[in-house]
Amino acid sequence: MSQNYDVLVIGAGPGGYIAAIRAAQLGLKTAVVEREHLAGICSNWGCIPTKALLRSAEVLDNTNHAKEYGLVIEGQVKADLEAIVKRSRGIAERMNSGVAFLMKKNKVDVIWGEATLTKPGEVSVSETKKKIVEPQGPKPKNALGAGTYTAKHIIVATGARPRALPGIEPDGKLIWTYFDALKPAKLPKSLMVMGSGAIGIEFASFYRSLGVEVTVVEVMKQVMPVEDTEIATFAQKRLEKRGIKIMLEAKVAKVEKGSDSITAHVETKDGKVEKITADRMISAVGVQGNIENIGLEKLGIKTDRGCIVIDDYCKTNVEGIYAIGDVAGPPMLAHKAEHEAVICVEKLAGQKGVHPLDKRKVPGCTYCNPQVASVGLTEAKAKEVGYDVRVGRFNFVANGKAVALGEDQGMVKTVFDKKTGELLGAHMVGAEVTELIEGFVVAMNLETTEEELMHTIFPHPTLSEMMKESVLDAYGRALNA
């Protein structure tokens, strides 16, 4: 089979399918090649199903504190692991089907199989040989198959996969990736999590809510290393209060496998080795771009540290070939991929006023308990690059809505340029901060100053009031603290 397109996208994850939709909206004949499942890792095995698990954990946590809200629950509330996982997988399937509908609605052809770049403007698609995860998503009706396809513009959106450390490779039984952690056959009594980024901490939080003894090992000096130190320290204390053991400046040097458990040799910063036995281990040491076996080398497409090198508008060094999302480098976040998709397509389509991605304005969210969210520079980074800063803080304990919710442990922190009043960064920990952070993202995109934020009316009673109070505090004007 052979067919010619204006735009052909390799990969139907958050970046790929959004790129295809935007191209179709602009009147370009478009196709997307997918080897495994529409909606990508995010909707099938990442962002969405993990949030479903964490929602179950949140409901369980709230139920366990029912008395604090004046409620009496007769009998014990227990977690049904099979039902929790089933709900999560059902939601993933629903998202998968939703993307199939969007492809049909926007008249985007879906080509099922593995794509290889054979030359600029040409892609060879073969039948998928090995599936990364089971089950494979349902094929959209009338999906195209193996063949050679041509396109004026080819967008590589092949995503990323879990990174493995030599000698500690996941085996799906005793050492898990996040794929395995999403659908455990049984609930372990104890769990070690290697890595305290968003993936590691979210699973640590989920399994702890279900009563599992959890130990987190992190090689850096703080949990969630990309976050502001003050926020990360606050989160760590709350996680430890929940019973999660956290070992910082430590690394798993070796793992011994038993019949139904692992023993990790953990090297601490003082050079000592502590042996820790757990039923299961989650390897959460980051992800790496899927750059192999897609023809990059043959075409001379530049890569760096496992990612495709692109310019401000997602172009590679080869004319007519672009890259977006995780495969194009950090931050490896679904919303960054979606934004790059729109930038890439609108630029290649000749749209006016297209702006490059500003990575400083890409928010990051971790959906553990407590939640963590941020955008922009941390206090330390702002000082490191030469800013004279003003820092504001406001604690949840002084917010009426937080107290009424029974969620009075958290903090909002803002960082301003003392000279200009520019908002350089915002950092939060506590209930629902992953929803609140967008207010500061909008403010930064509008180049809002502290004065404009101070004159903004926030509704009462809401958690969002703390955002304004944090701004006021940076200038010595906090009203409720």
CA distances from 297 to 1, 8, 191, 303, 476 (A): 25, 19, 40, 9, 57
Distance of CA 463 to the CA centre of its chain: 23
Strands 303-304 and 307-308: antiparallel
460 as an active site residue: the answer is yes
Three-state helix/strand/coil letters over 369-397: CCCEEEEECCHHHHHHCCCCEEEEEEEHH
- Distance, CA of 259 to CA of 183 (rounded, Å): 20
Q: Is 218 marked within a binding site?
A: yes
Q: Is 326 marked within a binding site?
A: yes
Q: What is the amino acid identity at position 326? A: D
Three-state secondary structure call for residue 298: helix
Alpha helix ranges (H) inside 312-361: 334-348
Q: Note whether 246 and 213 are within 8 A (CB).
A: no
Alpha helix ranges (H) inside 210-260: 229-241
- Does the CA dihedral 22-26-27-29 come out positive or negative? negative
Exposure of 102 by Cβ count < 10 A (0-12 exposed, 13-18 middle, 19+ buried)? middle
Exposure of 267 by Cβ count < 10 A (0-12 exposed, 13-18 middle, 19+ buried)? middle
Q: Is 200 marked within a binding site?
A: yes
Q: Is 199 marked within a binding site?
A: yes
Q: Is 159 marked within a binding site?
A: no
- Distance, CA of 8 to CA of 154 (rounded, Å): 5
How is the chain split among helix, strand and coil, in percent rounded to 5? 35, 25, 40
User: Can you say whether residue 24 is alpha, beta or left, with left for phi > 0 and alpha for psi between -120 and 50 degrees?
Assistant: alpha
Q: Which of 65, 339, 355, 460 is catalytic?
A: 460
Q: Is 335 marked within a binding site?
A: yes
Q: What is the dihedral of CA 461, 462, 467, 472, to 10 degrees?
A: 0
- Phi and psi at residue 261, in whole multiples of 5°? -165, 170
Three-state secondary structure call for residue 178: helix
In 10 A of CB 261, how many CB atoms?
16
Q: What is the amino acid identity at position 369? A: N
Q: Let me know how long the chain is.
A: 481
Token pair recorded at residue 249: 């400046």
Q: Is 196 marked within a binding site?
A: yes
> Residue 118: enclosing H or E segment and its boundaries?
strand 114-119
Q: Is 333 marked within a binding site?
A: yes
> Residue 213: enclosing H or E segment and its boundaries?
strand 213-217
Q: Is 324 marked within a binding site?
A: no
Q: Note whether 322 and 153 are within 8 A (CB).
A: yes
Binding site feature residues:
51, 195-202, 218, 286, 326, 332-335
Binding site feature residues for NAD(+):
195-202, 218, 286
The catalytic site residues sit at: 460
Binding site feature residues for FAD:
51, 326, 332-335
